[in-house]
Amino acid sequence: MLIMRWFGPRCPVSPEEDAWVASSLTWLMGEFGRGPLELPPVRPADLVPAGYAGGVQEARTLLDAICLRMGVDPVRVELELHSREVPDGHLRLRAGHPVIGVAFGHAADPVPLVATIAHELGHVLLVGDGRIKPDRPDAERLADLVTVYFGLGVFGSRVAVRCPRRAPGLTLPLYAYALANYAWQRGEHAPDWLGELRFGSRVRVRRGLRHLAYRAADPASAHSL
């Protein structure tokens, strides 16, 4: 058994990160139920219309669709597009309503726009709805994980590829491992939606799935390497 553990698929993240993903997903299940896991993951073609040009109404339509997917009333949320460069967007309150601000240039690219909106809506669900305190150390990572839980992780993963060392959200390896855990919770061992990810992310997610399968067969092997 020791030899099997030695040569088994190693966990692709640290023990602390592994524990954080597991405990956070369990917490999200308690907060939102398993319903989000039972819906098919959102692919860019499902959400972004052909010919998308980044106009105000187009961006608003995307926001409304993401709100509905994440269980947020679209009426609650305002969207501002402006000329000032805010690469990752920002969230503020106006008259008690969340306002997501995005630069026009950022809105022209639908994949990072969806990732940004979903991330900020994660903050609405977590902080705005009183589930966590705004100064929680892992609030940014948890907001990213919320997007994965609601089936929008493909978008965030693509952005993480562009900015692999971005902080304080999920790093590229942790994003991939979160997606692997998401797939595992859905009972997927070879999800077809992996084709929507960049090559490196697909490799990382498959590595995470192999580890999760190995650990399920031999729980004592979790971090024996």
Q: Which of 2, 21, 3, 4 is nearest to 12 (CA)?
A: 21
For residue 181, tell me if it sits in a domain: yes
Q: 212 pLDDT exceeds 90?
A: yes
Q: Do residues 127 and 134 touch, judged by C-beta distance below 8 A?
A: yes
For residue 8, tell me if it sits in a domain: no
Domain count for the chain, please give it: 1
Q: 221 pLDDT exceeds 80?
A: no
For residue 2, tell me if it sits in a domain: no
Q: Taking all residues of the chain, what is their mean pLDDT, rounded to a whole number?
A: 90
Residue 88: give the domain boundaries. 13-221
Strands (E), the chain: 78-82, 90-94, 97-103
For residue 105, tell me if it sits in a domain: yes
What number is the average pLDDT over the span 174-186?
Answer: 98
What number is the average pLDDT over the span 190-199?
Answer: 96
* Token code pair at residue 115: 């990732």
Q: What was the pLDDT predicted at 116? A: 93
For residue 3, tell me if it sits in a domain: no
pLDDT per residue over 95-132, tens digit each? 788 999 888 888 889 999 999 999 999 999 999 999 99
Grouping H, G, I as helix, E, B as strand and the rest as coil, residue 26 is helix
The CA distance from 31 to 190, in Å, is 27
For residue 30, tell me if it sits in a domain: yes
Q: Do residues 91 and 123 touch, judged by C-beta distance below 8 A?
A: yes
